Structure 1
Amino acid sequence: MSTENTDNLENIETEVNNTENGNESVNNTELTVEEQLKEELNKEKDKFLRLFAEFENYKRRTSREKLEMLTTASEGVLSSLLPVLDDFDRALAQVEQSEAKEHLTGFSLISTKFNDILASKGLEVVKIEKGDSFNADVAEAITQIPAGDDLKGKVVDVIEKGYKLGDKIIRFPKVVIGQ
């Protein structure tokens, strides 16, 4: 017999003797196998929970993106109409100052209708008035002018109106602030 076969026979004999002498070693291997299976199960549960959480985050993120896309889908169109809205405001101001008051009714009707349509699409004017504290998150400072102590860091004049669509500002108001 070769030495390999002899070694194999000795190993088999030791296993048989161990099983005949008691089932302690078998129980230990069964426990370790059981523990290994429990550990594998826990790992798989952990993987499943992480995957499930990742999927829930994905669903939440995509639904938020869809909602945001729907609310700001018309942003480009509305932004391109803002100069027309500014022209209406300037025309109304000129007509009010001139002697041609007969055109005022027509201009104001058209301007009101145009403003109402844009407001129905979610466009709002950013509220900034003279005397408000300057906030760089809400307005854009064009220039600073010397002002008294009561107007330092405050809006002195609003040069151009700002507009927002929902919560997003699509054009910041342009203001002059006191220095």
Structure 2
Amino acid sequence: MSEKDRIEEMDELKDALTQDEAAQEASQEESQEQENEQTAELSREEELEKELEREKDKFLRLFAEFENFKRRTSKERMDLFKTAGQEVMVSLLPVMDDFERALKELGKSSEKELFKGVELIYNKFKDTLKAKGLEDIKAEEGDAFDAEIHDAITQIPAPNKKLKGKIIDVVEKGYRLGDKIIRHPKVVVGN
């Protein structure tokens, strides 16, 4: 083999090596690109998972907020139904007081039939209001005074020691509508 043939062979080997190196580099570049694509796909997948978690969190918060809103409006509606007639009831209380005063005065007179007629009307009126949720607040002479319930209009010296700090007289009856006091009983307290 001549020198020229060897040089050509070496050039061919060199070219083959260069081509192999180029092929390897291309293969490495391809695998690097594939890795990058996989990493991009993974990061895209991770991004989507994070976004899904954020959306789930938003949904859960919105759902909880809506449930609280429903509960609050339902409670407000129930309270409104319970005290819907409060204004009407409060305006009818003086009529109830007048009936009681009229019955007291008619009881003193000799006209028993008139007394019975007014008493029937009073009882019907009282039963109707009771059916709508109106209740008397019990306050009688000798009961303990409770500032939460009773409205003390004055204090007088107690006639005996047992009535000290207790109710001596009820000036005006108190009423409750459902759980709410719409008029406190006005009382005189002994000191």
The normalised TM-score by structure 1 is 0.77
- The one of 106, 120, 123 equivalent to 2:131 is 120
1:105 aligns with 2:116: yes
Name the larger-Rg structure. Answer: 2
For residues 54-73 of structure 1, what are the structure 2 equivalents within 5 Å? 54-73=65-84
1:87 aligns with 2:95: no
Partner of 2:142: 131
Partner of 2:170: 158
Give the SS at the match of 2:135: strand
- The one of 37, 51, 59 equivalent to 1:40 is 51
Return the offset for 1:82.
0.9
CA deviations over 1:101-157 (Å, ceiling 9, x no partner): 442212211111111111122211112222222222222111122224433332222
> Does the CA contact (< 8 Å) of 1:18 and 1:25 recur in 2?
no
Stretch deviating more after TM superposition (93-102 or 48-57): 93-102
| Structure 2 unmatched ranges of 5 or more | 1-26
Matched to 2:71, the amino acid is R
Partner of 1:176: 188
Distance 1:21 1:109 in 2: 101
CA change 1:23–1:144 in 2 (3 A) is: farther
Give the SS at the match of 2:143: coil
CA change 1:39–1:90 in 2 (3 A) is: same
CA deviations over 1:67-123 (Å, ceiling 9, x no partner): 222222222222111111101101111122334444221221111111111112221
CA change 1:154–1:33 in 2 (3 A) is: farther
Q: What is the identity percentage for the equivalent residue pairs of Structure 1 and Structure 2?
A: 55
The normalised TM-score by structure 2 is 0.73
Distance 2:153 2:44 in 1: 75
Give the SS at the match of 1:41: helix
